[in-house]
Structure 1
Amino acid sequence: MTNHQKRLSAPNSWPVERKTEKFTVKADDGPHGDAGVPLVVLLRDVLGYADSKKEVRYALESGNVRINGDEIRDYRRPVGMFDILEFSEREEYYRVFPDEGGRLALTGIDADAAGSKLGKIVGKRQVAGGETQINLHDGQNVLVEDASDYSGDDSLVVDNETDEIVAHFPYVEGALVTAVSGQHAGDIGEVESIEVTPGSGDNRVVVEGVAGSDAFETIEEYVVVIDENFVEGGLEDESADEEVDDDE
């Protein structure tokens, strides 16, 4: 199996330049499915903390890079929407957030915010012992005794150390949401109405724009409930357009 991914066929969410080189690194198996960006792309192409894959691998051996609180040494580890990237030596913390067009970008946050991660509920089921397992968008599972307050498409903030739920954002009219896919990816607004489609069709949601975004309509699957703390700050991708050699 090849460890390379053609740039032209990489997911639209990947922050890589498409035409400078033919290949980039292929993400390993893990969270976020095919949409997960290899860690090496963020460290080298976006942040510019290394000039080559070799330098990234050396940097990871120091043990100072964490994702969602876990020490990471695999340069191909997939990173995706709402993951928390931590550089302990630098005391730098970033949240992966969808930018305009759905491309993943890094938003600078403080150390307190880096202690927990947002997840969208995509399912829940009863497990042995009477508890309910809540399934989040990135594959993380959270166990709760009473799941009656939690519904599909709600968002949870989960502590990275304890896996405890520290905040719950219901998917209801008036909720603040961001579109993470489709032609409105990166837009932010408040839910004006939710239109339930009979049968197997996708439910629609009408969103009133805020923070400079226009009003838009999209399918329910494409929106995630957030709060104002998830849209403060930002980091420009200044190096994604530079040429890099993935054979280094």
Structure 2
Amino acid sequence: MTKHQKRLSVPKSWPVERKTETFTVKADAGPHGEAGVPLLIVLRDVLEYADSRKEARYALNQDNVLINGTPVADEERPVGMFDILAFDERDEHYRVFPGQGGRLALTPIDADSAGSKLGKIVEKRTVPGGDLQLTLHDGQTLLVEDDSEYGGNDSVVVSNDDGEIVAHFPYEEGELVTAVDGAHAGDIGRIEEIQTTPGSSSNNVIVEQEDGDGFETVEEYVVVIDENFTGDDEADATAKEGDDE
């Protein structure tokens, strides 16, 4: 299996230029599936903290680069939506957030906010032994004593230290959401209406915005978020986003 990825065929969420060179690094298997961006691309192409794979490997071997509170040494480790990226020596912290057009962007956050990450519940089920398990959008699983308060498409905030749920945001009308895919990726608003579609088709979500525009998208493309995501130095400023094509 090839270790290279053609730039023209990378997922649209990857913040890379597609026409400058033929190949780029391929992400390892891991969180976020095919949408996960290799850490090397973030370090080299987005933040420009390394000029080469060799420099990135050296930096990662110092255990000063953390994803969701855990030091990472693999430059091909996928980074994806809502991950927390921290640089201890620089005292810098970022949240991976969907930018305009669906390209992932790094949003600066403070150290307190970097202690936990947001996750969208995509599945909940009973596992052997009778435990109740929630599966999040990035593949992380959580065991809970009672899942009755958690619904599909709800969001939870998970502590990076112990994996405990520290906040819960239900998927319902009136909640703040961001679109993470589709034509409105990166847009933020409140759910005005959830339109249930009969059969196997996706439900539609109508989102209202303060500027009055609003938008409509499918249920899979929206994630309920915390009010803090709309701070001046957070979701409104998709800092460190990759260059335009």
Are positions 1:64 and 2:64 aligned together?
A: yes
- Tell whether the 8 Å contact from 2:31 to 2:79 is kept in structure 1 after alignment: yes
| Partner of residue 144, structure 2 | 144
| Aligned positions of 1:70-81 closer than 5 A | 70-81=70-81
Give, as a single letter, the amino acid of the residue that structure 2 aligns with 1:2.
Answer: T
Moved more, 123-132 or 197-206: 123-132
| Residues 24/213 of structure 1: CA separation in 2 closer, same or farther (3 Å cut) | farther
Structure-1 separation of matches of 2:128 and 2:241: 49
| Residues 111/217 of structure 1: CA separation in 2 closer, same or farther (3 Å cut) | same
- Tell whether the 8 Å contact from 2:104 to 2:241 is kept in structure 1 after alignment: no
- Tell whether the 8 Å contact from 2:64 to 2:71 is kept in structure 1 after alignment: yes
| Residues 213/26 of structure 1: CA separation in 2 closer, same or farther (3 Å cut) | farther
Give, as a single letter, the amino acid of the residue that structure 2 aligns with 1:221.
Answer: E
| Partner of residue 203, structure 2 | 203
- Tell whether the 8 Å contact from 1:45 to 1:240 is kept in structure 2 after alignment: no
Report the alpha carbon displacement of residue 52 of structure 1 after superposing the two structures with TM.
Answer: 1.1
| Residues 101/64 of structure 1: CA separation in 2 closer, same or farther (3 Å cut) | same
| Partner of residue 246, structure 1 | none
What's the RMSD between the two structures over aligned residues? 1.5
- Tell whether the 8 Å contact from 1:188 to 1:213 is kept in structure 2 after alignment: no
1:237 to 204, 217, 240: 240
- Tell whether the 8 Å contact from 1:83 to 1:96 is kept in structure 2 after alignment: yes
**Which TM-score applies when normalising by structure 1?**
0.93
| Residues 180/158 of structure 1: CA separation in 2 closer, same or farther (3 Å cut) | same
Are positions 1:89 and 2:89 aligned together?
A: yes
| Unaligned stretches of 5+ residues in structure 2 | none
| Residues 240/25 of structure 1: CA separation in 2 closer, same or farther (3 Å cut) | farther
| Aligned positions of 1:1-248 closer than 5 A | 1-210=1-210, 214-232=213-231, 233=233, 234-237=237-240, 240=243
Give, as a single letter, the amino acid of the residue that structure 1 aligns with 2:60.
Answer: L
CA deviations 1:202-222 (Å, max 9, x no partner) are 100000024x58300000000
Give, as a single letter, the amino acid of the residue that structure 1 aligns with 2:221.
Answer: Y
Structure-1 separation of matches of 2:13 and 2:209: 22
Structure-2 separation of matches of 1:91 and 1:228: 24
**Which TM-score applies when normalising by structure 2?**
0.95
Counting aligned pairs with the same residue, the percent is: 68
Report the alpha carbon displacement of residue 231 of structure 1 after superposing the two structures with TM.
Answer: 3.1
Give, as a single letter, the amino acid of the residue that structure 1 aligns with 2:71.
Answer: E
Structure-1 separation of matches of 2:240 and 2:86: 17
Q: The residue matched to 2:97 in structure 1 has which SS?
A: strand
Report the alpha carbon displacement of residue 16 of structure 1 after superposing the two structures with TM.
Answer: 0.2
Structure-2 separation of matches of 1:198 and 1:241: 39
Structure-2 separation of matches of 1:191 and 1:110: 28
Structure-1 separation of matches of 2:39 and 2:78: 6
Report the alpha carbon displacement of residue 235 of structure 1 after superposing the two structures with TM.
Answer: 4.9
Q: The residue matched to 2:146 in structure 1 has which SS?
A: coil
